[in-house]
Amino acid sequence: MGTELVRYDLIKVEDLIFIIRGVQVMLDRDLAEMYQVETRILNQAVKRNINRFPEKFRFQLTENEIEDLRSQFVTSNSRSQFVTLKI
């Protein structure tokens, strides 16, 4: 993964934060874009280094949660299923 984040305006980052299960989260696809990697690469890195990503900072969306998010977007990337909590 790249070591430098893409610069984002605070307003844009705020638009990438959703409330799911009562907590603020970001989708894997949005984090991948910020790190300039493909979503699958980000998810592979998480799986390979699972001890570095405690459960309280990640979870997988249910099918219902995915459908709820899709309804909020005009276009949606169906590959996004993981979220990371905003701390």
How confident is the prediction for the chain on average, in pLDDT?
A: 78
* Predicted confidence (pLDDT) per residue in 27-64, tens digit: 999 999 888 999 999 999 999 999 998 887 888 889 99
Please tell me whether the overall predicted TM-score, pTM, comes out greater than 0.75 for this model.
Answer: no
| Band of pLDDT at residue 82, cut at 50, 70 and 90 | low
Structure tokens at 22: 């009562």
- pLDDT of 9 reads 72
What residue ranges do the domains of the chain occupy? 10-85
